Amino acid sequence: MKCAYCGCTQSRVVDSRQSEDGTSIRRRRECENCGRRFTTYEHIELVPLMVIKKDQTREAFDVEKLRSGIVKACEKRPVSLGRIDELVREIERKLNNQSDSEITSENIGELVMEGLKQLDEVAYVRFASVYRQFTDIETFRDELNKLLADLKTGTTDGKPVR
């Protein structure tokens, strides 16, 4: 690691600590040439995800755009920002664990709907109405009937609800 003060490439690690969120390591270093100390951070380098939109254009995955959509669906609902952030992290983790660096917007939407269904039914219906572009009351009713059937059987698309 190059010293921030003299440019020497010889330094030793004096202290290492994990960051509070667990996503990086903070290292205190001491330059062997000038003796001054400086801090470096080590992060996992993730392959950037590209989202393939419905019109086949591509754009970089934006976690804030994902969070904003979920916050909007949960507006005026008893859902804490902490639970929303947990859902966002879970979706982001699932996306990063996939083998492909390109993901469709439909796949992201389904992950959001799956998470919202477990988090808050009203937020789920709000999101579904925009995401699935309900055009009439019949489509809306069909989605509500699916949700009610899942709640009655204790499943979500055939999977037990946690």
Q: What does the domain layout of the chain look like in residue ranges?
A: 11-43, 50-160
**Mean pLDDT, the chain, as a whole number?**
88
- pLDDT confidence band for 89 (50 / 70 / 90): very high
Give the pLDDT confidence score for residue 159 in this predicted structure.
52
Mean pLDDT is highest, among 35-49, 71-85, 115-129, for: 71-85
Cα 145 to Cα 34: distance, rounded to the nearest angstrom: 71
Tell me the two tokens of residue 19. Answer: 């960051």
The CA-atom distances, in angstroms, between 35 and each of 3, 30, 42, 85, 152 are 10, 6, 22, 42, 68
Determine what percent of the chain is predicted with pLDDT higher than 90: 60
pLDDT tens by residue, 18-73: 987 777 899 999 999 999 999 999 987 777 899 999 999 999 999 999 999 999 99
Cα 113 to Cα 73: distance, rounded to the nearest angstrom: 10
- pLDDT confidence band for 162 (50 / 70 / 90): very low
